[in-house]
Structure 1
Amino acid sequence: MKQTPAIKISCKNLNKIYRSKKTEILALQDINIDIADNEFISVVGPSGCGKSTLLRIFAGLDEATSGDILLDNRVMAGPGSDRGMVFQAYTLFPWLTVEQNIRFGLKLKKMPKPEADQIVEKYLSLIGLTDFRNRLPKELSGGMKQRVAIARALANNPEVLLMDEPFGALDPDTKGNMQLQLRELWEKEKHTVIFITHDIEEAVFLSQRVYVMSSRPGRVIADIPIDLPQERDLDLKDTQEFIQIRKKIHSLLHSRDFGNNLHATN
């Protein structure tokens, strides 16, 4: 019998309200999500639905108004080394080389140099940039910069990798290649990944599961398992199975009555 994976992250009854002296905006409403250990999930939804706010709460960069996020059954409070973050903007240190950027977190941890050297070499190889180790970010393409940002996050061995539309600024060809490389990297490393995107095709290709959010206030209106082969290539996007899942999510996102879909499942 196949063993059910342990729950890595549990989001329970989470709400987020932004308040000022004159206004009160409900950004997230009653979010309940369970993410298994080593699972790759994506969150999609219309602009302004609170996807990035949710990710910032996962990262500890913002606080929920009510509800809890549990990591291994422990309440998460504030940022921590157990979570790595990759943003859409290329958040590399421009004065550091590729190698130095990847090494940065290891130096903060005061990791012994021989051990740090092994980790840096591993991730330079995994992202295919060993020959670019001494280049500065300004000498790299957009795709290369994001590979370095991903490697820098993974080098710290986080339990969870949080990604906020990391390929949103890339051209279509580079974006497709980066999706493939990220999927292959996840196959090797098996971190738990929470990926925010507005691109339905991207979410279906990368993920084992896609959560669909409504327009504000952001609510989870569907939990869609992605029943596609574990090993994937870009040709998968042309198959009928892939297209059917993509159309289902597209239909949910463009439904005029999100309320009727609150309990939609596959």
Structure 2
Amino acid sequence: MAAITGAFGLEAKVANSKISFEGVNKIYSSKKNQVVALRDIDLEILDNEFLCVVGPSGCGKSTLLRILGGLEDISSGSIVLNDQELVGPGADRGMVFQGYSLFPWLTVEENIAFGLKISKTPKAAIQAIVDRYIDVIGLEQFRHSLPKELSGGMKQRVAIARSLANSPEILLMDEPFGALDPETKSTMQLLMREIWEVERPTILFITHDIEEAAFLGQRVVVMSAGPGEIKRSVPIYLPYKRRLALKDEPEFIETKKKIDQIIHAV
């Protein structure tokens, strides 16, 4: 896998707000009952921030992400993106789900190039972008392989590269590493962190894994059990450049404990 390097350090100034949730509620209604999925969500996501959201199953984490992706409507409240009210999906948002969502009839490079072709990006530019991301995800020898010939971790690398190739301002990730074995999961976490350190998209990352959230995020938002509410926002004071060995350090273990205590506090 190619090493990813960059000149980024800790930011000296506070970034501008990228996304604002203001009093957002989501209610699912049927003839028999109503289910409140999200209640009174007030949340600011900063430009270039890596924000992780954790909470128990059914707390509305994925609903929050799907709303931001334009896949679901809100029942009340408002969401402002780049100073404009959010309406529907947009090319400014890329999405990566737990399922790999690759086109099975396309090769690795064709999957990565798909969105670029749809947007009518010049052919030479497409090839340069595809070559770059194949190098970043370390799959040069598999560029002509079909998804059925790849492992789960490889497929997820391709899914991430396909989203990043379209240069989204915001990357929405819904438990993308949840189905991977522990070793592959750690490798993918490191890759994702390295990509963010260089590319700096705004990332909303949904996970139920406290360790994953603490390792990846600049900030972790803890949600309560349904109806989903924001329980606490926890800034993560860990080194900007992170490597897997950090998980064994006392400061990291203490950060995990703090998040866990907030999740389980009555």
Into which bin does the TM-score normalised by the smaller protein fall? Answer: over 0.9
Q: Does 1:115 align with 2:149?
A: no
Could you say which residue in structure 2 is the equivalent of 1:196? 206
Q: Please list, as runs of the form range in 1=range in 2, the aligned pairs for 1:1-266 lying within 5 A after superposition.
A: 2-255=12-265, 257=266
Identical-residue share of aligned pairs (%): 61
Measured on the aligned residues, the alpha-carbon RMSD in Å equals 1.0
TM-aligned CA deviation for residue 3 of structure 1? 2.3
Moved over 2 A (4+): none
Q: Could you list the per-position Cα deviations for residues 34-60 of structure 1 after superposition, in whole angstroms to 9, with x for gaps in the alignment?
A: 111111000000000000000000100
**Which amino acid is 1:156 matched to?**
N
- Distance in 2, matches of 1:198 and 1:108, equals 34
SS at structure 1 position matched to 2:241: coil
TM-aligned CA deviation for residue 2 of structure 1? 3.2
- Distance in 2, matches of 1:38 and 1:183, equals 13
When the two structures are aligned, how many residues end up with a matched partner?
256
Structure 1 runs not aligned, ≥5 long? 258-266
- Distance in 2, matches of 1:186 and 1:23, equals 42
Could you say which residue in structure 1 is the equivalent of 2:8? none
Deviates more, 1:16-25 or 1:3-12: 3-12
**Which amino acid is 2:86 matched to?**
M
Q: Could you list the per-position Cα deviations for residues 124-161 of structure 1 after superposition, in whole angstroms to 9, with x for gaps in the alignment?
A: 11111122110000110111000000000001110100
- Distance in 1, matches of 2:136 and 2:20, equals 30
SS at structure 2 position matched to 1:211: strand
**Which amino acid is 2:213 matched to?**
A
TM-aligned CA deviation for residue 239 of structure 1? 1.1
Could you say which residue in structure 2 is the equivalent of 1:260? none
- Distance in 2, matches of 1:90 and 1:30, equals 32
TM-aligned CA deviation for residue 73 of structure 1? 1.0
SS at structure 2 position matched to 1:201: helix
SS at structure 2 position matched to 1:145: helix
**Which amino acid is 1:198 matched to?**
H
TM-aligned CA deviation for residue 227 of structure 1? 0.3
- Distance in 1, matches of 2:264 and 2:219, equals 19
**Which amino acid is 2:85 matched to?**
V
- Distance in 1, matches of 2:12 and 2:171, equals 25
**Which amino acid is 1:172 matched to?**
P
Alignment TM-score, normalising by the size of structure 1: 0.95
**Which amino acid is 2:147 matched to?**
P
SS at structure 1 position matched to 2:98: coil
SS at structure 2 position matched to 1:148: helix
Alignment TM-score, normalising by the size of structure 2: 0.95
